[in-house]
Amino acid sequence: MKDLKHLTWFEDLLQDANNELIVQAQREGKKCVAYVCENTPEPLLNLDGIFSARLRAPRTGSMEMATYYLTSFLCEYSRALLERAIEGGYNFADCLIAPDGCTMINRAVENMELLHTMGKDKDSFFYENMEIPMKADDNGLNLFVLQCRNHILKPLEEKFGIDCSDSAIRKSVEEHNRVCSLIRAIGEFRKGERPTITGYEFNVITLATYVAPKYLLLDKLEETLEELKTREPDEKNAFRARVLIVGSEVDDPEFVKLVEGTGAFVCADRFCYGSFPGRDCITLTDDEDALTQICRQYMYRGQCPRYMDQAKMVGRREYVKRLAEEYAADGIIYEQIKFCDPWAYERMIGSHVLHNDFGYPVLSIDRPYSTSGTGQLRTRIQAFIESIEIKKIRGGV
Amino acid sequence: MKAEVMTSNDKRIGAKNFGGAYSDGRVRKYREWRGVTDTLYDYSRWLLNWVTMFRVVLSKPRNIKAMFRYRWMANYLAVPMMVDRHTQGLRGEHLRICHAEQDLIIDDVAKLLDKLFRGDRRIGNDKAFSDKVVLVDENEMQSVMMGFPTLVPLSREIASTYIPVLLNQRAALHYIDVAQEYGLAGDVCPMPEAEAGVSIDDDAPILGKCAVQCNTTCDGSLLGNGIISKRLEFEDGIPVFQLATPLRHQEDDVQEYAAQEIRNAIAFIEKETGEKWDWTHYFECAKRVNYATKCRIEWLDMNKTPYPQVFGSNLALYTETNYMAISGRIPAFEKADRKITALAEKAYKKKKMAANEYRHRAIIWGVQSHYYMDFLVWLLNCWGIVPLTDMLSMVSTKMIAETDTPENREQAIFDIAWLTENMIMRNRTHGGYKVLLDELWEFVESFNADMVILWEHMSCKALDGMHGMFEERARERGVHLVWVSHDLFDPRVISRQGVRDQINSYMRTVMQEEPVDPTLEVLNDAESW
C-alpha cells in the first residue's frame, strides 16, 4: 500500500515523552496534566487551559536506577516510568494524577514523589493519588465521582485556576468525542478481507492520541481518515491470519509491528493504550451532570482486570469474543507485561475461556516492556500463526 | 545506634546447643529438656493438642474420609511439631504464653476442619448445617460476621493452604504447580497462586449458602478470588459477594464508600441466608474486640521496655487469628487474652527474658516467610536478636463503638469498614507509602530498636516497590537494615537455610559478631516439616 501521508509525523510524536505537540501546547500557555492509567477520565484532564499526556517511556534502555528502588520484580512499565522520571524525562509535566490502578504503578508514582523527580521548578506542581472503584455499581459510581472531584477537579481549579464547571466539562467531552470518532472511523478500515490500514499504522495513530494534546492532532487525523477512504489495498494480501491482541499495557508500536512481521494482521486492539474501549465516545444527556455520566461510562465500559465483580469478570471475556467476531479474528493473542499481577490472572483465565468456551485459537504470552528484537517472542507468534493456517487448511479442525 | 547486651539471670535449664536436636529427616531427634516442671507442662500440652485433634477431628469417620479425599489434610499430622518449633528455648511464663496462644489456635483450626467436612457435599453433606455457612476469604476480616450469631463463617483457604504451609514447608508446592500448569505466570505471589491452585484442582470442600470475598492484601489476592468465585458461582451454585474495600484506607473521602460496601455485604448475607443482623450480638463482639486491642496495646508497650514479654512469631500468629479471623466472635479468645496478659505482667515484674542473651532489638517488617514462621525463634536463640514486634502485629489500635445506641449503630458500620480496610498486612500494603515506609521508622524509635529485619517476599510487589526507599531511610537514620528474601510459600526458591544465611552473613560480616548459639547457625532442615 502507499505510505500514509502523516505516518512518519505520528511516529515521530512517539519518539519522546516530551513530544513536539506538548512543547507547542505549553508554549501556548496550557498546563500539561500527566497521568498513568486508563481508568483516569481523560475529558477531565482536557478542560480549557490544560491537556493530558499519558506517560510512557519510549526508547527505554537501562532501568538500573528504577530497579534499585522497585526491585526487578515490578513490571518493566512501572520501572521504565520511574527511570525516566529520575532521569528528568517528565520535567515537562505540570502535575501527575495517578489512580491506584495497580500496586506497581502506585509504587512507581510514590517513588517519583519521594525522590522529588518532578516539579522542581514549578511552584504549582502537585501529585494526586486517587481511589477508583473495583466494582461497577452505584456505590462505585459515587466513589468515582467524589474522587474525581477531590483529586482531579479541585486541585486543577485551585492550582491552575481551571474552569471545572459542568459546561466546561461538556465542552471537553465534545472535543474528546471528535478524536474518538475519528479513531473509530479509522479503525473501521481494519475490517474486511482487504484492510486498507495495518494494525501497526493504526496503533501508532491511536497511541498518539493518548500522549499528545488532542486538539493539535485533529487536522492530521481528519486528513488520514480522508486518505484511507481512497487508499488502495495491496493486490496480494500480505497477511496469513487476523489476530486480536488482548491484554495489559502496550505503549510500544514495535510490538504490533513484531506481530505483523510474522504474517498476522492485528485486526483489533483490546489492551491498555489500545482503542478498545479507550476510544469509545462518551454520550452525554442533559438530565444529569456531565461528571457523573463520564464516570459511569468509564466504570461500566472499563475492561481492566482490577474490576472484581462477577459481571465484570464474565463481561471481559465476552467483550473479547464480541470484538473477535466483529473484526473477524482468526485467533487471539493474550499478552501481559511480565510481572503484571492483574493480567497474569486475567490472561490465564481469559485464554482458557476464549479457547474452551468460545472456540478461538489463543496464544498466551508474557513479554518485556520493550519488544523490539525479541526473537523468542517472534518464534512463538510465528508458530501460532502457522497453527492457525494449518487449522484453516484443515477446514477449522 | 548500639543496643545494650543483656544476659538472663534465670537458670534456663537445658537452654543451650539447640542445633543438636535437629535431624536430617522430618522430625527432630529429641524433645527439649526444660527442667522437670516446664518439661512436664510442655509434654502435657503436647498431649493435649493430640487429644484436641482426636476429639474434634479424627474421632469422626467423615473426617477420616476427608483425610483421604483432600491432599492438604495429611499436613495436619504435623501440628504438634509446629508448636514445638515455636516453643524452642521458652521457659516459665513465656512457655505458657506460647501455649495459651498456639493451643487455642489449634483448637480453633480443628473446629474449622470439622465444620468444613460436616457441610462438605462430598463428605458430611449436612445440608442444614451447610445452609448456615458463609464462606469467607483467608485474609479477610470477619468483622462483617459479628452480627450474625447463628451463621458460621468458614474459610476454606485457611484450612487448605494457610495453615498447611505453617505445618509443612512443602504443603503448597503441588497447588502452586497446578496453577502454573494451568497457565498462571510464575512470578505472582504464591499465596493466592496456591489458593487458585486448590480451586483449579477442585480440592476444596464444597459447602455454604453463600460466600463473601474481599480484595484483601494485594492485586494477586484480588485476582485469585476471580478463579475461586468462578467455580463457586458457576459450578457449585454458591452466590458470591465481592466486598470491594478501598485501597487508600487512610483517606477520609473513601470511608463512606467502604461503609456502603459493608451495608451491601450485610444485605447480601441476609438475603441469601434469611438471617437478620443482630445488634445485641454485634456489640457483645465489639466489646471483646476492644478488649483484645487493649491487651495487644499493653503487650506492645511492654515490648518497648528492655523486658518484652509477648513477641515474635507467636504474637504475629495469635494477632492474625484473634484480630482477623475471630473478630470478637469467640469468647475463648477473650479468656486467652486475659491469661496471656496476666502471665506477661508477672514475667515483666520479675524481669524475665525469653532467651539466654539479648543483643539487638529489632522491628520485623514486611511479609514473613510462611514456610519458616519459627524463624523469629531462631533469630532470638541463634543471634540474640529480639523481634520486638512485626508488621503483621501492628494493626488498628482504634477502639470501636461498643454500646448499643442509634448513633453507635451507624458508627458500627464505619467501624466494621475500618477494620476491613485495616486487615492484617493490607493495612500496610495498601494505603500509600506513609503506612508502610514512614510508620516503620516511628516504630523503630518508639520501640528503641537498633535493627530492622526486612522480609523481602520476592513476589510481593507492594513491599518490593519501596525497596530503595527503605534502604535510604535506614541509612539516613543509622539503623541496621537486614534484608531477608524468601518466596512466602515456596522453599524451592529460597530454602530455610538460605533464609538463615542472609542473617548469618550480615551478623558476621557487617556486625562482626559470633552467634549466641553456634549450633543453630547451619541446620539441615531441608527435609523437615
What distances in angstroms separate CA B98 from CA B326, B328, B468, one per listed residue? Answer: 18, 20, 36
Provide the residue ranges of all domains of chain A, joining segments of one domain with +. Answer: 18-157
Tens-digit pLDDT string for chain B (529 aa): 567 899 998 889 999 999 999 998 889 999 999 999 999 999 999 999 999 999 999 899 999 999 999 999 999 999 999 999 999 999 999 999 999 999 999 999 999 999 999 999 999 999 999 999 999 998 889 999 999 999 999 999 999 999 999 999 999 999 999 999 999 999 999 999 999 999 999 999 999 999 999 998 889 989 999 999 999 999 999 999 999 999 999 999 999 999 999 999 999 999 999 999 999 999 999 999 999 999 999 999 999 999 999 999 889 999 999 999 999 999 999 999 999 999 999 999 999 999 999 999 999 999 999 999 999 999 999 999 999 999 999 999 999 999 999 999 999 999 999 999 999 999 999 999 999 999 999 999 999 999 999 999 989 999 999 999 999 999 999 999 999 999 999 999 999 999 999 999 999 999 999 999 999 999 999 999 9
Q: Which of B242, B247, B461 sits opposite A74 (nearest CB)?
A: B461
Q: Which residues of chain B make contact with A130, given a CB cutoff of 8 A? A: 248
Place of cell 512457655: B95
State the pLDDT at residue B1: 57
Q: Are strands B357-358 and B6-7 parallel, antiparallel or unpaired?
A: antiparallel
For chain A, the straight-line distance linking the first and the last C-alpha, in angstroms and rounded, comes to: 33
Q: Which residues of chain A make contact with B247, given a CB cutoff of 8 A? A: 100, 106, 131
Provide the residue ranges of all domains of chain B, joining segments of one domain with +. Answer: 6-520
A142 touches chain B (CB under 8 A): yes
Q: Give me the residues paired with residue B360 across strands.
A: B385
Class at the top of the CATH hierarchy for domain A18-157: alpha beta
Cross-chain Cβ contact A345/B226 below 8 Å: yes
Using the predicted structure, report yes or no on whether residue A238 has a pLDDT greater than 70.
Answer: yes
Cross-chain Cβ contact B242/A349 below 8 Å: no
- d(CA B361, CA B3) in angstroms, rounded, equals 7
- Locate the chain A residue with the closest alpha carbon to B241: A309
Cross-chain Cβ contact B242/A341 below 8 Å: no
- d(CA B429, CA B436) in angstroms, rounded, equals 7
For chain B, the straight-line distance linking the first and the last C-alpha, in angstroms and rounded, comes to: 38
Whether A323 contacts A267, CB under 8 Å: no
> What is the radius of gyration, based on Cα positions, of chain B?
22
Percentage of residues of chain A with pLDDT beyond 70? 99
Q: The C-alpha cell of B55 is what? A: 476429639
Q: Which of B222, B257, B461 sits opposite A143 (nearest CB)?
A: B257
Give the Cβ contact number of residue A78 at 10 Å. Answer: 29
Q: What is the mean pLDDT of chain A?
A: 96
Select the residue from A107, A117, A137, A248 to test the B interface by mutation, using most B Cβ atoms within 10 A.
A107
pLDDT in tens, A211-237: 999 999 999 999 999 999 999 998 888
DSSP annotation of A275: S
- d(CA B101, CA B97) in angstroms, rounded, equals 6
- d(CA B404, CA B223) in angstroms, rounded, equals 37
Give the Cβ contact number of residue A155 at 10 Å. Answer: 18
Where on the phi/psi map is residue B51: left (φ > 0), alpha (ψ -120 to 50), or beta?
alpha
Select the residue from B140, B249, B257, B430 to test the A interface by mutation, using most A Cβ atoms within 10 A.
B257
Size of interface A-B (CB pairs under 8 A): 161
Q: The C-alpha cell of A59 is what? A: 526508547
- d(CA A387, CA A373) in angstroms, rounded, equals 23
Where on the phi/psi map is residue B405: left (φ > 0), alpha (ψ -120 to 50), or beta?
beta
pLDDT in tens, A250-272: 999 999 999 999 999 999 999 99
- d(CA B521, CA B175) in angstroms, rounded, equals 31
- d(CA B266, CA B211) in angstroms, rounded, equals 12
Cross-chain Cβ contact A111/B465 below 8 Å: yes
Alpha-carbon dihedral sign for residues A219, A221, A225, A227: positive
Cross-chain Cβ contact B244/A107 below 8 Å: no
State the pLDDT at residue A235: 86
**Letter for the amino acid at A280?**
D
pLDDT in tens, A145-197: 999 999 999 999 999 999 999 999 999 999 999 999 999 999 999 998 899 99
User: Which residue, A300, A328, A329, A330, is CA-closest to A316?
Assistant: A300
Burial B209-246 (b: 16+ CB within 10 A, else e): bbbbbbbbbbbbbbbbbbbbbbbbbeebebbbbbbbbb
Q: Please report the residues numbered 101 through 120 in chain A whose beta carbons come closer than 8 angstroms to any beta carbon of chain B.
A: 102-104, 106-108, 110-111, 114
Alpha-carbon dihedral sign for residues A106, A107, A110, A115: negative
- Locate the chain A residue with the closest alpha carbon to B487: A73
Counting DSSP H helices and E strands in chain B, the numbers are: 22, 10
Select the residue from A341, A343, A366 to test the B interface by mutation, using most B Cβ atoms within 10 A.
A341
Q: Which of B183, B240, B257 sits opposite A351 (nearest CB)?
A: B183
DSSP annotation of B437: I
Q: Give me the residues paired with residue B363 across strands.
A: B389, B452
